[in-house]
Amino acid sequence: MLMRLLLVVALAVAAAAAEQRATYIVHMAKSAMPAEYADHGEWYGASLRSVSTGRAAAAKMLYSYDTVLHGFSARLTEQEASDMAGMDGVLAVNPETRYELHTTRTPEFLGLAGSEGLFPQSGTGGDVVVGVLDTGVWPESKSYNDAGLGEVPSSWKGTCMAGADFNSSACNRKLVGARFFNRGYEAAMGPMDTSRESRSPRDDDGHGTHTSSTAAGAAVADADLFGFASGTARGMAPKARVAVYKVCWLGGCFSSDILAGMDAAVADGCGVLSLSLGGGSADYARDSVAIGAFAAMEQNVLVSCSAGNAGPGSATLSNVAPWITTVGAGTLDRDFPAYVQLGNGKNYTGVSLYAGKAPPSTPTTLIYAGNASNSTSGNLCMPGTLSPEKVQGKIVVCDRGISARVQKGFVVRDAGGAGMVLANTAANGQELVADAHLLPAAGVGEKEGAAIKSYIASESKPTATIVVAGTQVDVRPSPLVAAFSSRGPNMITPEILKPDIIGPGVNILAAWTGKAGPTGLAADTRRVNFNIISGTSMSCPHVSGLAALLRSAHPEWSPAAIRSALMTTAYSTYTGGAGAPILDAATGAAATPFDYGAGHVDPTRAVEPGLVYDLGTSDYVDFLCALKYTPNMIAALARSKTYGCAANKTYAVSNLNYPSFSVAYSTANGEAGDSSATTVTHTRTLTNVGAAGTYKVDASVSMSGVTVDVKPTELEFTAAGEKKSYTVSFTAAKSQPSGTAGFGRLVWSDGKHSVASPIAITWT
């Protein structure tokens, strides 16, 4: 009897699981709509009803898409999704993905101060709209002041959606649009807690306000965070317009909402889309951001995305589709030093944005958190792990990792600690990220942290003093590649080098929400107008804003041409001196193209690049053919079955006209040391966007046994718009062990312009 009852229960559980619904994105072939339907919405609805007929609850449609893809998103059971995939006119049915956020000295550091003449800011210059898909906007911020801007462009089709604590009147000539998309979020997570987040474009988090004001915020004088980084804060394109699309919530950013936001942004008339979010790497036909970005590219919209914050590990990138501009993070030449002075006279430099009651000037007892806890993770200062009787009135050394940096300070404070030293571990190396701590605190590098912990272990009565020293500028060397910035190689297509470029992403000052404190933690009751935070989330809108500047200066350029200009004029060595290579904050050693792509963005050179590597839809389709994509996979990306792969044409990834070179040799067919030579040839085409001139090439790689042969070695351009092609052959004399890598650079120069491309060579 018991066994029978258990069997009945098991069958009931299995049946309930089979009926459980999840969100799926359904891609439809628009041209396949049967004649009996008046429009595509009617067809989508009928298709959805057909797979759920006879079930206890009908499948629910969340969104219908018509711009960045043709199709809809719906809540389906596994069986319904399978049935839908088999229907005529259905190209693909993909499960929803959950994405996460990749969380005012910048204009001066980038050379933009006083360079207004390079970038037209009247007429069409102010017509560029940067669409930011993020956590919404705090419209009351002065960064959205529209003083001096002309009327909203007549081509703009966007709107300002009213909602909780957000009126349609919140928009103006600067903030020209605001929408929110929450159906996917609430379908997956349940009804939102409206006491914690607003069902409207209102930014309750701060991230979206920070990114959108970084991209195109108006100039705001006397901006600072508690006196740090004081000065004028302005976006990269201060005369551009901003439109926000709230697609990220407390529970994450869901692909059905992201696609709805991208769908609206492109239809509204945005010229640039900025997405500081990611969900790891996936095949392009299943990556919602890549799918939306492909359609945006077709409609002449540049899409800029953050590379991710999973560094310094290799192969950690997000958003690697070649039609996306993938942005990593570097440091600025500004720092916020703090000093840890030990009782033995040693002095160690760190960083801090602490601005509360001055820490004691007399030495205070110093203790390592691992010695003040009964927990195996006590060294990390996790909540509830410190013993108050051991840390009361003392400065506590906490190891960085697992929990948020600022949260560790809360833990120390709540346990009665007087201050905190936050010590990096090997994962973060010497990279220092400043935080607005609520108690006297300083973050120090791995080496300094090890020295401080060694002092504690060797001294019977260790003491320390923390001194917060304010803002320091002209820090050298800078930039460094941020340790957290995700790295290559590209695991989806190793022959495409990613990231494309790096921009400022460490300790960035920009506008903030009035709903959250600078740490973002619920216990932080402080409110600020500007905040300093770090991440590739911050570097991405820098490049988005710079793309808007280039679009205003060169409205005829395609998204690929704009990206090419940014990449080929980027720098990978420090200016002045012997041209030493940009360093990696994680190791202190020279960084590589897997870390920075083409290099650090240099907008004043990008406006006049001389030559560009251009790309269009047909070029990307050829790339997909080289990847052996099926007709349905291509149609799901390109939204049309008119594109296809010709049986009589040879396709190669190496022929994609990309502004960088990635050569991936395979060791699968031979052992390391195999003496047979292997040659890989890339074809590229350059378009002249400057004056007539003759360009000569210089190419080299830092790897013995590999030669580079460019043909021809000289290209003569007589008119703007003229195109010239060349080939590059990379020959490896013998095979190398898997994982071996080498790097180089190929540069075309006419004496005035240097059109540079990074080279990465790997054995897999």
H-run or E-run covering 48: helix 40-52
Distance of alpha carbon 375 from alpha carbon 386, whole angstroms: 8
Residue tagged active-site, from 304, 537, 735, 757 = 537
Cβ contact 213:106 at 8 Å: no
Q: How far is CA 631 from CA 24, 29, 84, in A?
A: 21, 11, 18
Residues forming a β-bridge with 420: 396, 441
Sheet holding 611-612, edge to edge: 611-612, 678-688, 723-732, 706-711
Residue 207 annotated among the catalytic residues of the structure: yes
Mapped onto helix, strand or coil, the DSSP state of residue 137 is strand
Q: How far is CA 747 from CA 202, 608, 611, in A?
A: 47, 16, 11
Cβ contact 545:236 at 8 Å: yes
Helices (H) and strands (E) in the chain, counts: 17, 39
Distance of alpha carbon 437 from alpha carbon 206, whole angstroms: 17
H-run or E-run covering 584: strand 583-584
Mapped onto helix, strand or coil, the DSSP state of residue 541 is helix
* Closest by CA position to 354, among listed 429, 438, 229, 252: 438
541 Cβ contact partners less than 8 Å away, ≥ 6 residues apart:
132, 211, 212, 214, 215, 235, 236, 274, 276, 304
Q: How many of the other CB atoms lie within 10 Å of CB of 549?
A: 28
Q: How far is CA 664 from CA 90, 270, 318, 702, 730, in A?
A: 35, 36, 19, 16, 10
Question: Which pairs count as long-range contacts for 625-632, CB under 8 Å and 24+ apart, including other chains?
Answer: 625/649, 625/651, 626/651, 626/652, 626/653, 626/655, 626/656, 627/493, 627/653, 629/285, 632/91, 632/92
Residue tagged active-site, from 27, 207, 682, 753 = 207
Which bin fits 308, alpha (ψ -120 to 50), beta or left (φ > 0)?
A: left
**Positive or negative, the Cα torsion across 105, 212, 271, 613?**
positive
Mapped onto helix, strand or coil, the DSSP state of residue 24 is strand
Residue tagged active-site, from 27, 102, 134, 212 = 134
Residue 537 annotated among the catalytic residues of the structure: yes
- State the Cα angle at 549 between 544 and 555, rounded to 5°: 110
Residue 134 annotated among the catalytic residues of the structure: yes
- State the Cα angle at 749 between 748 and 751, rounded to 5°: 175
DSSP letter, residue 473: E
* Closest by CA position to 499, among listed 627, 660, 680, 624: 660
Give catalytic residues, as residue numbers: 134, 207, 537
